[in-house]
Structure 1
Amino acid sequence: MSLLGKAAVAMWWNVRPEQRAEFGDWHSHEHFPERMSIPGFRRGSRWTSTDDADGFFVLYELEQYEVLTLRGYLDRLNAPTPWSTKMMPHHRGMVRSQCRVAASFGGGVATSLATIRLSPETGRETELQAQLSDILRTLAPQPGLTGGHLLLTDTPRTSSPTTEQQIRGKDGAADWIILLSGYDAGVVERVVADKLSPPALHVAGARNNPTIGRYRLAFTMTPPDVAAV
């Protein structure tokens, strides 16, 4: 998939089995339509972990980075609906990163996704970004794959805990994020074990502690879909 904009919000969390059915209803029928109604939101996607029975990854693609600081977004974060207020405490282990899109290659919406959370070695940031961009550009058109993207967390300086964050408790944050999507989960996995493996990333300039997640698509929505809800 090609990211639809220059910024994104990337989130990981767990939901206990007993809350998963209601979570799916709320997130698909209220929360996604609400977010897609905010000016500047271009697409939302929810992914279910294939490694962790409780895990989810959610990505919101934004037209511009400035959307993160506009009233349309902040007003929603500070005025959750009753249903959102009920569901937010069930977001366990939330990691939430507001990002700039540093590189994005590919097209379409895939069914399989790998996320890699990593950090650069001190002094090797420029080198690592250039090497990852080259790798992802090469990978995106390969058989079995559909896209490769690099996100850099850049939390707005004016950011302060919102009402939603206060309900959930303290959120964690990623640093750099690689997204690799494909229509063949086996190919995605082989790339993660080879060209995007921890040793390969370390040679390119990353620290030795990346966090890798594997997911399948559960739901996606764009603003035109809201009118049909």
Structure 2
Amino acid sequence: MSLLGTAALAMWWDMAPDVRPDFEDWHSHEHFPERLGVPGFLRASRWRSATGDRFFVIYELAGHDTLSSPAYLARLNAPTPWSTRLMPHHRNMVRSQCQVMATAGGLLAHQVLTLQLQVEEANGPALASELETLCPLLAGLPGLVGAHLLRHQAPPIGPTTEQRIRGLGDAAADWVLLLSGYDEPSLADALAHGALAAALARAGATPRQQGTFHLSHSAVPGDVAGLGAVQERLRERPQAAA
């Protein structure tokens, strides 16, 4: 299926190898259940680079207002001890709070290619219109299963406790193109597809960062429903050695 909902939170960051096992334990067993317990969070997915030191995470949301909801803000401003310990290790954070502009095919596959774009403001609507037509074509190419276009729109909220722990240095990608599939060379070929290249050129789209990531874990609320007691136990677990 296409992206769930009409909004998404897309994030990239680096993680030191010595912290990664603790991070992945926390992210799957505490953070995913916590976030998916917030109304409006429909699916969570974590992806890891081939080198293992960079991550891409996307939360699919019912609507953009989920990002400013009281329930979500309560979590952002009251991180657990485990979260508080790991937040400073999220380095070179790029955090885009997005509207879904175009989506076709599936998201979940063995790999996803992410392209962060800077697009001239006046050209945004035309790019979204072109990609609405192109995404189904791209999703049907050999080796691919999905294509999705996101646009960052900051919600009307101030800095949160989690951001302060990370140092208030979060960047944002204005536009995000996601290509998911089962064959990595095909993802790169799709990015060079003539129709897509022409649409990006017409929009004056400037690539900021590109990366290919492998799926590590994905969950929907039903996967973690009823695990409240387990979550509380995990939040109280002794700290691992730093």
* TM-score, normalised with respect to structure 1: 0.92
The offset of 1:122, in angstroms, is: 4.7
Shift of 1:185: 1.8
User: Is the CA contact (8 Å cut-off) linking 2:107 and 2:147 kept in structure 1?
Assistant: no
Q: Distance in 2 between matches of 1:92 and 1:195?
A: 35
1:99: Cα distance to partner?
Answer: 0.6
Structure 2 counterpart of 1:68:
67
User: For 1:115 and 1:177, how far apart are their aligned partners in 2?
Assistant: 7
Deviation at 1:18, TM superposition (A): 0.7
Which amino acid counterpart does residue 212 of structure 2 have in structure 1? R
SS at match of 2:171: coil
The letter for the 2-side match of 1:222 is V
How far apart are 1:213 and its partner, in Å? 1.1
Whole-Å Cα distance in 2 between the matches of residues 89 and 196 of structure 1? 41
In structure 2, distance between residues paired with 1:227 and 1:126 = 39
Q: After superposition, where does 1:77-156 map in structure 2 within 5 Å?
A: 77-107=76-106, 109-156=108-155
Distance 1:139 1:207, change over 3 A: closer
For residue 36 of structure 1, what is the aligned residue in structure 2? 36
Mapped to 1, the partners of 2:66 and 2:120 lie a distance apart of: 30
**Paired residue secondary structure (2:206):** coil
In the other structure, the counterpart of 1:187 is 186
CA pair 167-195 structure 1, distance change in 2 beyond 3 A: farther
Greater alpha carbon shift after TM alignment, 204-213 vs 67-76: 204-213
Cα distance in 2, alignment partners of residues 31 and 45 from structure 1? 11
Q: Please report how far the alpha carbon of residue 202 of structure 1 lies from its aligned counterpart in structure 2 after TM superposition.
A: 4.3
For residues 74 and 90 of structure 1, the distance between their equivalents in structure 2, rounded to whole angstroms, comes to 21
* Distance (Å, rounded) in 2 between the aligned partners of 1:34 and 1:131: 37
SS in 2 for 1:2: coil
Cα distance in structure 2, aligned partners of 1:183 and 1:72: 36
Identity of aligned residues (%): 49
107-116 or 78-87, which moves further after superposition?
Answer: 107-116
Q: Matched residue pairs, number?
A: 226
Q: State the distance in 1 between where 2:195 and 2:23 align.
A: 32
**Cα pair 2:111 2:215 within 8 Å, conserved:** yes
Distance change (3 Å), C-alpha of 1:100 and 1:205:
same
- Conserved in 2, the CA contact under 8 Å of 1:80 and 1:164? yes
Paired residue type of 1:221: A
Unaligned runs of 5+ in 1: none
> How large is the RMSD of aligned CA atoms in angstroms?
1.8
Which amino acid letter does the alignment assign opposite residue 150 of structure 1?
L
1:132-162 CA deviation, whole Å, 9 max, x = no partner? 2222121112332111111110111x21110
Asked if structure 1 preserves the Cα contact closer than 8 Å seen for 2:106 and 2:180, the reply is no
CA deviation after TM superposition for structure 1 residue 105, in Å:
0.7
> Deviations along 1:68-114, whole A, 9 cap, x unmatched?
11111110000000000000000000110111111111136211101
Residues 26 and 196 (structure 1 numbering): CA distance in 2 closer, same or farther, change over 3 Å?
farther
Change (3 A) 1:214 1:40: same
Unaligned runs of 5+ in 2: 228-242
Q: Do the aligned residues in 1 keep the contact of 2:96 with 2:173 (CA within 8 Å)? A: yes
CA distance in 2, matches of 1:202, 1:59: 23
Cα pair 1:125 1:205 within 8 Å, conserved? yes
Structure 2 letter corresponding to 1:111: H
Tell me whether 1:4 sits opposite 2:4 in the alignment: yes
Q: Distance in 1 between matches of 2:91 and 2:195?
A: 28
Name 2:21's counterpart in structure 1: 21
Of 223, 226, 236, which aligns to 1:225?
223
**Structure 1 stretch 136-145 or stretch 75-84: which is displaced more?**
136-145
2:195 and 2:96 mapped to 1: Cα distance?
A: 21
Partner secondary structure for residue 78 of structure 2: coil
CA contact (8 A) 2:107 2:180 kept: no
Structure 2 Cα separation of the partners of residues 115 and 107 of structure 1: 14
